[in-house]
Structure 1
Amino acid sequence: MQKTLRSRVSFDGTGLHSGCAVRITVSPASANYGIWFRRTDVDTADNLVAARWNQVERTPLCTRLVNDAGVTVSTVEHIMAALAGCGIQNALVELDGPEVPILDGSSAQFVSAFLAAGVVEQAEPAQVLRVLRRVEVTDGEARAVLQPSDIFEIAFDISFSDEAIGTQSKTMSLANGAFVRELCDSRTFCRQADVDKMRAAGLALGGNYRNAVVVDGPRVLSPGGFRHTDEAVRHKMLDALGDLALAGAPLLARYTGDKSGHSLTNTLLRALFADPANYAVETCTPQLAALLPGANLHAADMRLVA
C-alpha cells in the first residue's frame, strides 16, 4: 500500500550553495498525491514544484527542480532519498527559500524525524516501475545503467586522485531498511581545491567542515574524519537513490553508476521513459513491497540514526 507520514515534521538549516537560512516542513498527503515542493516565499507565481524527473533543471552540483513558472527548488536529493528510503510516496514539502537545507550533509536527520513521526499505510495500492530492458547513458568516463532485476539494488564505483578517497566500490540491495541502516548517515564530500573554486564562483556559500567531508590529498579536514571508511561511495549511492526517486514510483531494477552524478542519473531516467518498451508499471503486491526501500523498518533502525 502507499505510505505517508503520520504527522508533520519541520527542520531549520542553511542551503549548501545559497548560504540562506531556510525552514522546511514535511506534511502528510493523501493517496496518489505524490511528492510536491511548495515555495512559501513565492506569492507572485505558481509556487508548487513536482518531484519528477521531467522537472529537473540540469546542474552539475545538485538536483534542482523547476516548474513552468520558473520557480525552482534546489538540492532535493537528500530529502528525496530519505522519503524513498522510508517508503513514503505521498508528502508535501514546504520551504521558505530556494534550497533544501543541507543539515549535516546526509539524509540522517530527515530519516530520524520521519521515523519518529511515524510512517502509515494508506488505502490505495502502491505502484512500482519494473525495468524491462537495459538502458545505458555515458558522459566521457562516466556511465549510468538501469537493467532488469527482481529487487532494487545499487552498484557504484568512484575514483579520486585524493588518497583520502581513492577508488571505492559498493553494491547492495536497498530492501529491508538497508538504506536507513547502511547509507542514510553518509555525508556529501568534496576536495578542498573544489571548495575554493566553488567559493570563487559564488557557490557552496553554506558549506563548512560540519556539513560536508572535505579532503585534501591524504588528509580529511573535517573533524572526526569519515563515519565509514567508504563513506564517499555510500554517499554517491544515497544521491543516486534520491535522484532515482524522481521516477515517481519505486524501481525494480539494478542501477549501476561508474563516476556518475546527478545530471547523468537524470539523463538515464529520461532515456528510460523515452521508450515505453523499457519499463512496465505494476501494482505493488505484498511480496514486491518486501523488496523495496522502506520495508520492515523497526525502532532499532531509528536509534541508529537518532
Structure 2
Amino acid sequence: MKFSRQTTLRSQATVTGVGVHSGLPVNLTVGPAPVDAGFIFVRSGLEGRDREVQATAESVIATEFATVLGDREGPLVSTAEHVLAALRGMGVDNATIEIDGPEVPIMDGSAAAFVAAIDQAGILTQFGSRRFLQILKPVQVVMGDSFGELRPYAAGFRAEIEIDFTNPVIGRQNYSLDLTPERFRREICRARTFGCMNDVARLWSAGFALGSSFENTVVFDETRLLNAEGLRYNDECVRHKVLDVIGDLALAGLPLLGAYRSVRGGHKLNHAVLTALLADRSAWRVIEAETARRSRVYAEAGSGMVGGMIAPAYGPDVS
C-alpha cells in the first residue's frame, strides 16, 4: 500500500455496453473530481435535469441482485459495484461517473473494461493528503449461515473471502488478497459474475437479467460449466466475490485500513457489515497518510500498536 497524496483521473474515458437487467444500451464515462470529492455518480438522460448521488453507504437503497444507489427521489444507478471496485482497486480516490441509464453496463461481467478506461484516462496525483478509514476494533454481522467481519489490520486492506455453494461444480472456494493496484489488475479485475442456469432462467421469467448472456456471465448447471471458453481462473467465482467486496466496501467513502472476512456473503452482507461499522463511532477513525504510514511501521515491527491503541494480533483465518 502506498501512503501518499490523493489521486483522480487525468481525463475522461467512456465505455458502452448493456444493462444486465434491462438489456438496454448505456454509456458510462469516468472522469476527474476534486480533492476529497470521493466517487460521484451523475445520472443523465432524465427528464429536466441531471441528478447526482455520492457513492456512500448512506446512498444504498437496495442490495438484492446488485448494489443500487439512490436518493429521496428514488433509485439512480444499479450494479455500481464493478466500476467502484475498479476505481478503488486501482488506487483512485476521487472520480465522477457519468451514466445515461439506470444501470452500470455489465460489459463482460468483470471490472476489466473499467480498468482499461482508467488506464486510458490516466491517474493524476492531487495536492490533498490521502485519508483512510482505519478500523479500530472488530465488527461482526451474522445473517443466517452467512458471516462477515471487519477487523483492525494496519498494513492496508485485506480481503479473506470464502464461498460454499450447494452446486457441486462451484462448491467451496476461498481467496485472500492484500489489495494493491498490481494485484487487483492481475488477480481480480477479470473475474466475471456467475450464476446457476436455474437461477438465470428464474430471473428471466421475472423480467430481470434480460441483458445477461454467456458473454457476460459464467453459467453452471448441476454438472458442468456451460460457457464454451471455460474459466479465466480455476477459482473465478470466489475471485469475483472479492471484486464485489472491494466495490461494496468502497462505499465507506475512503480507503479502508482493515481486514474483511466473509463466509457465504454477498452484497447484502457486505453492506450490513459496513453499515454496522459506520454506526459504531468507536470502531473507526479517519487518519491521513502519515499517520497511516506510522501505524504500518508499528505493525510490521510487531509492536502491537495501531494508532496508539492496543491491537489484537489477528492473522488470516481461511479454511
TM-score by length of 1: 0.91
Q: Distance in 2 between matches of 1:282 and 1:250?
A: 10
Q: Distance in 2 between matches of 1:20 and 1:176?
A: 31
Counterpart mapping for 1:1-306 below 5 A: 1-44=5-48, 47-151=51-155, 152-175=157-180, 177-285=182-290, 288=293
Q: Distance in 2 between matches of 1:49 and 1:214?
A: 33
Provide the aligned length of Structure 1 versus Structure 2: 290
Identify unmatched segments of 5+ residues in structure 1.
292-306
Q: Which residue of 1 aligns with 2:300?
A: none
Describe the shift of the 1:202–1:146 C-alpha distance in structure 2 as closer, same or farther (beyond 3 A). Answer: same
**1:116-162 deviation per Cα after TM superposition (whole angstroms, max 9, x unaligned):** 32111001111101100100011100111100111210001111122
The amino acid across from 2:278 in the alignment is: F
Q: Distance in 1 between matches of 2:198 and 2:290?
A: 49
Q: CA deviation at 1:283?
A: 0.4
Q: CA RMSD in A?
A: 1.6
Report if aligned partners of 2:91, 2:181 keep a CA contact under 8 Å in 1.
Answer: no
Q: CA deviation at 1:223?
A: 2.2
Q: CA deviation at 1:43?
A: 3.5
Q: Distance in 2 between matches of 1:13 and 1:171?
A: 30
Q: CA deviation at 1:29?
A: 1.2
Identify unmatched segments of 5+ residues in structure 2.
297-319
Q: Which residue of 1 aligns with 2:307?
A: none
Range 206-215 or range 23-32, more displaced: 23-32
Q: Tell which structure's C-alpha radius of gyration is larger.
A: 2
Range 56-65 or range 232-241, more displaced: 56-65
Q: Distance in 1 between matches of 2:213 and 2:161?
A: 26
Q: CA deviation at 1:17?
A: 1.1
Q: CA deviation at 1:241?
A: 0.3
Q: Distance in 2 between matches of 1:162 and 1:223?
A: 19
Q: Distance in 2 between matches of 1:114 and 1:198?
A: 32
Secondary structure, counterpart of 1:120 in structure 2? strand
Q: Distance in 1 between matches of 2:293 and 2:180?
A: 10
Report if aligned partners of 2:93, 2:254 keep a CA contact under 8 Å in 1.
Answer: yes
